[in-house]
Amino acid sequence: MEDLNIRKTGRAGRITFTREKTLNALSRNMAQAIHAALQGWRDDPDVALVVIDAEGERAFCAGGDIAAVWRAAIAGDHSVGRRFFADEYRMNAAIADFPKPIVAFMQGFVMGGGVGVGGHASHRIVGDSTQIAMPEAGIGLIPDVGGSWLLSRAPGRIGEYLALTGARIGAGDAIHAGFADTYLPEEEWPDLIARLEKTGDVSLIEGEDVPSASLQTRDLSAFGGATLAEIMDTLEKTGESDALKPLKRNSPLSMAASLALVRAARGDQRMQESLSREYRFTWRATTETDFLEGVRAQIIDKDRNPKWAADASETHVQALLAPLGEEELRWEEYV
């Protein structure tokens, strides 16, 4: 397809994002195509591993292409978003559960939907330009695409910090937080990909010394607060303005729900459990949250001035995360 280059080269299945002008934003069709390619390669004896990379220096994938979701919902059709999220999450799970190695080369922006592709690969390579983030609270959403699963497994309170602030992290912090595995200068990536194609042997992946991780020494204990209000109060009292500033800017409902999602995911045994919980929020996102206003302000009108109005109470958060009954995301056919 036009937005992806999917092929087999040597021993490797190859998936390359080719939407450089849109920072390789992920559409529903792209999610379906990635999933279909993986299904086709599961039992293909010619494919020893899968390599996922992207064209362009600016981004591996800067997020999901949600403008279409916004347009449909504004017109009264909420099914477009629900189908998009369902297909995207099933693709995320297929990457995480793939029985062969998947090697992701993640340069530039790796955000939201990009984390859902690269962050669940078995071998995740980052370089000097890498900037990883889950910035969904800024558009009235939550860290989805299995983001709550990854965040829940970060050391200490890094998960809460990244979920609530949407902070961008470089290679060293990404490896420390569990979003990546290997640091390798980007000029060395083409040669490694060529050798992986030729041999199908992931033991050839040898990283270099990991850049320093600032999060490793940062005191994020404030993010252990029981509620969003308690976290913000502690940050205010301790004068941590850099951390507090995005919390005053992001959707209160999204941050409260993100806090609940990350903490709930710590008890999950499979990523599908986290994805199912995320889907309960995103299924309801276009009707009961700040999502449409956030997308309008940040992506459509770009005035960067969202008017958050959704109920951010604990009662509403729990209602948004409650099971969907017949609409629950099903996994049986995607195991």
CA trace torsion 245, 215, 188, 37 (10° rounding): -70
5 strand-pairing partners = 16
Q: How many CB atoms lie within 10 A of CB 244?
A: 19
Beta 49-54 vs 102-106: how paired, if at all? parallel
Residues 6+ away with beta carbon under 8 Å from 132: 106, 110, 111, 115, 119, 126, 168, 169, 170, 174, 179, 180
Q: 65 catalytic, yes or no?
A: no
What whole-number distance in Å separates Cα of residue 103 and Cα of residue 85?
A: 24
3-state class (DSSP) for residue 53: strand
Identified catalytic residue from 65, 136, 173, 197: 136
Q: 294 catalytic, yes or no?
A: no
Identified catalytic residue from 13, 53, 63, 64: 64
CA trace torsion 71, 26, 117, 9 (10° rounding): 160
Beta 102-106 vs 123-126: how paired, if at all? parallel
Beta 12-17 vs 4-9: how paired, if at all? antiparallel
Identified catalytic residue from 144, 160, 197, 290: 144
Q: Which two tokens stand for residue 74?
A: 């504004």
What whole-number distance in Å separates Cα of residue 103 and Cα of residue 95?
A: 10
Q: 233 catalytic, yes or no?
A: no
- CA nearest neighbour of 297 among 166, 140, 168, 162: 140
Residues 6+ away with beta carbon under 8 Å from 290: 140, 251, 253, 254, 306, 308, 309, 310
Reduced to 3 DSSP states, what percent helix, strand and coil does the chain have, rounded to the nearest 5? 50, 15, 35
What whole-number distance in Å separates Cα of residue 114 and Cα of residue 123?
A: 15
Q: 64 catalytic, yes or no?
A: yes
Q: What is the DSSP letter of 267?
A: T
Identified catalytic residue from 108, 112, 113, 119: 113
Hey, which residues are catalytic here? 64, 113, 136, 144
